[in-house]
């Protein structure tokens, strides 16, 4: 089994008849999925998604893949292939197209419709190539064949990539629900046929590699929803991803059966459901839908709200309801259904929302106490099924945290793939497929790129560290005025503080220490502002640490006159 190594250097020039695979996101994390396939100087991109920030990344809106590897070479990109319409696979496309707007976007009907609406908000007119399962399309040296896969969004695709250097099967996100709501099952026959042709590298979804067995069918949720609806006393509020059309369909069906009207809440939810309805992926019975503004006129036991916020996102509708920061107030007797899986890292945020909702008297139904969601990703039994069916010469787990990638690698070896042909890479680690063997050949830049408002890439790890310190420890600013020629202190240091938890009177103890240090520096002929700032920082920092065991941000300011 190949492992990424910290001392890897840049990869060598691409050898002839070699297919190079560069994952720029999605390995070692859930989100930000992006892979670059390169052959003879031309590139094919598979997915370009975003990662949503964690609590330790304050102020960040989105996290993008690092496009540095592509800069200066964007004219060599033949196309961007999009496996499905989830944000962690398409959310980064607008930011990449800012650098070259005419890159062809290849995807299914629904995927392109969702992406087009997103690009419209960025004022980008894309070049679209709509594809469907069973079709083949060629872009330069890359011949692509598309396979239907079942996932938690309609119209998802796997893609087989044929090149002179070998064949690759990229599953995208998938599961093998045998009774899907849209009757569109994963094309196992197509996988087997492509495998019989010869798959040199299988890149497969690892999210549920630690989960044994086979996936529960989406159809099993219908009965649970029916029971929850039957017992609900007042309003029902359902929170799910704005792209989970199958789940919304089940909520619409249950609402119709129980005589309730449905309103969508939130701009993204309304937009996506309108698109799904127009394209025929969402079936809305009669006059079931109403505008959220008209809900006040309806009895509370005839209302269903569908909103975002199942992951505890601070600005999503459900979080704001829990905080009483939304026009819709939670009332005793309301029922809230969290109809989605918990993305790793969001546990605290979701629990905080559940507690907030419960505080106001709501009954909260979630995956932990009822079958209101099944995963969109294949568990271990299904992953083994695909490995045995495709019989790849080499295997590379994708889409997952480290524990998922390693678990999937173990499954591959159990299925008979030799250990030296199982490649565990991480973002930026370059894998070369040559003469039927996949090997790690180097590493390229693939760090986090933060989107903060209109700023892209300006926020650094150092800035995030400062934000964390400010949020947790506050700051202390010390302003001193000195003579520019001698460095002698003029007047008393002025101290300003916010959030440090220290009374202003307490700083009377440290001001003499600062004065003493500065007087000694002046006697030694020190008058450089940078050195004076450092002396002040050390002096007050030592005092705060010894006296209060705190480490606030220290901002010394030197004014020369």
258 is in an annotated binding site: no
301 is in an annotated binding site: no
- Look up tokens 């199942």; give the residue: 310
244 is in an annotated binding site: yes
CB 331 within 8 A of CB 234: yes
As annotated, the active-site residues are: 205, 377
173 is in an annotated binding site: yes
366 is in an annotated binding site: no
Residues 6 or more apart in contact with residue 339 via CB below 8 angstroms: 238, 239, 240, 244, 247, 251, 310, 372, 373
What are the structure tokens assigned to 294, written together?
């008209």
Whole-angstrom CA distances from 365 to 324, 394, 480, 501 are 19, 43, 58, 39
The alpha carbon dihedral of 419, 434, 83, 51 has a sign of positive
84 is in an annotated binding site: yes
- 122 secondary structure, DSSP code: T
508 is in an annotated binding site: no
- Look up tokens 């173990």; give the residue: 410
CB 142 within 8 A of CB 81: no
59 is in an annotated binding site: yes
434 is in an annotated binding site: no
122 is in an annotated binding site: no
What are the structure tokens assigned to 413, written together?
């070896």
Question: Which residues pair with residue 43 across a beta bridge?
Answer: 38, 77
φ and ψ at 441, to 5 degrees?
A: -120, -5
Q: Among candidates 182, 250, 205, which has minimal Cα distance to 376?
A: 205
Q: Is residue 261 classed as helix, strand or coil in its secondary structure?
A: strand
170 is in an annotated binding site: no
Whole-angstrom CA distances from 168 to 89, 428, 458 are 19, 19, 36
Whole-angstrom CA distances from 99 to 54, 68, 76, 96 are 27, 11, 13, 6
CA–CA separation, 317 and 310 (whole Å): 9
61 is in an annotated binding site: yes
151 is in an annotated binding site: yes
The beta strand positions in 407-534, using DSSP E, are: 429-434, 437-443, 449-452, 455-456, 475-482, 489-498
Whole-angstrom CA distances from 347 to 95, 118, 217, 318, 410 are 29, 28, 25, 15, 27
- Look up tokens 């070259």; give the residue: 100
88 is in an annotated binding site: yes
243 is in an annotated binding site: yes
Question: Which residues pair with residue 440 across a beta bridge?
Answer: 431
Catalogue the long-range contacts made by 406-413 (C-beta closer than 8 Å, 24 or more residues apart).
Answer: 407/206, 407/209, 407/210, 407/380, 408/204, 408/206, 408/209, 408/383, 409/1, 411/209, 411/380, 411/383, 411/384, 411/387, 412/387, 413/1
Angle at CA of residue 542, ends 536 and 548, nearest 5°: 125
255 is in an annotated binding site: no
Angle at CA of residue 352, ends 347 and 357, nearest 5°: 125
75 is in an annotated binding site: no
φ and ψ at 457, to 5 degrees?
A: 85, -5
Q: Is residue 438 classed as helix, strand or coil in its secondary structure?
A: strand
Q: Among candidates 49, 57, 53, 45, which has minimal Cα distance to 118?
A: 49
Binding residue positions for Ca(2+): 59, 61, 452
Binding residue positions: 59, 61, 84, 86, 88-89, 151, 173, 242-244, 373-377, 399, 452
Binding residue positions for substrate: 242-244, 373-377
């Amino acid at each position: 089994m190949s492992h990424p190594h910290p001392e890897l250097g840049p990869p060598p020039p691409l050898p002839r008849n070699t297919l190079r695979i560069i994952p720029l996101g999605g390995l070692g994390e859930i989100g930000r999925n992006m892979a670059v396939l390169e052959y003879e100087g031309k590139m094919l991109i598979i997915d370009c998604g975003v990662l949503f920030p964690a609590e330790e990344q304050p102020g960040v809106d989105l996290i993008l893949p690092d496009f540095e590897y592509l800069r200066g070479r964007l004219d060599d990109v033949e196309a961007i292939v999009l496996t499905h319409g989830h944000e962690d696979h398409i959310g980064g496309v607008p930011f990449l197209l800012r650098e070259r707007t005419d890159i062809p976007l290849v995807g299914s009907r629904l995927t392109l419709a969702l992406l087009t609406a997103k690009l419209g908000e960025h004022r980008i007119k894309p070049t679209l190539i709509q594809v469907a399962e069973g079709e083949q399309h060629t872009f330069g040296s890359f011949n692509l064949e598309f396979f239907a896969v079942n996932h938690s969004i309609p119209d998802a695709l796997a893609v087989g990539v044929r090149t002179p250097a070998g064949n690759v099967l990229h599953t995208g996100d998938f599961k093998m629900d045998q009774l899907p709501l849209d009757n569109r099952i994963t094309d196992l026959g197509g996988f087997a046929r492509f495998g019989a042709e010869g798959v040199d590298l299988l890149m497969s979804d690892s999210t549920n590699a630690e989960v044994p067995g086979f996936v529960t069918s989406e159809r099993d949720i219908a009965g649970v929803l029916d029971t929850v609806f039957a017992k609900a006393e007042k309003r029902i509020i359902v929170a799910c991803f704005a792209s989970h059309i199958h789940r919304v369909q089940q909520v619409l069906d249950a609402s119709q059966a129980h005589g309730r009207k449905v309103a969508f809440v939130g701009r993204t939810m309304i937009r996506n459901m309108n698109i799904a309805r127009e394209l025929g992926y969402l079936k809305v019975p009669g006059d079931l839908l109403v505008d959220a503004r008209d809900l006040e006129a309806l009895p509370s036991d005839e209302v269903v709200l569908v909103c975002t916020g199942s992951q505890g996102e601070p600005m999503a509708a459900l979080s704001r309801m829990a905080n009483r920061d939304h026009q819709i107030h939670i009332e005793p007797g309301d029922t809230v259904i969290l109809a989605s899986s918990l993305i790793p890292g969001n546990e605290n945020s979701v629990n905080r929302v559940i507690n907030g909702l419960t505080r106001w008297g709501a009954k909260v139904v979630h995956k932990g106490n009822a079958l209101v969601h099944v995963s969109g990703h294949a568990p271990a039994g299904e992953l083994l099924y695909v490995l045995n069916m495709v019989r790849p010469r080499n295997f590379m787990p994708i889409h997952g945290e480290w524990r998922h990638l390693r678990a999937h690698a173990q499954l591959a070896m159990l299925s008979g793939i030799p250990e030296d042909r199982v490649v565990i890479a991480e973002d930026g680690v370059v894998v070369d497929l040559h003469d039927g063997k996949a090997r790690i050949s180097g590493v390229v830049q693939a760090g986090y790129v933060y989107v903060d408002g209109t700023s892209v890439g300006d926020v650094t790890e150092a800035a995030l560290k400062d934000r964390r310190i400010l949020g947790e420890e506050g700051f202390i600013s010390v302003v001193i005025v000195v003579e520019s020629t001698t460095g002698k202190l003029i007047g008393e240091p002025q101290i300003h503080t916010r959030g440090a938890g220290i009374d202003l009177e307490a700083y009377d103890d440290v001001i003499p220490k600062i004065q003493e240090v500065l007087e000694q520096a002046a006697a030694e002929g020190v008058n450089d502002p940078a050195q004076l700032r450092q002396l002040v920082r050390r002096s007050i920092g030592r005092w705060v640490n010894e006296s209060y065991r705190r480490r606030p941000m220290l901002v010394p300011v030197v004014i020369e006159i």
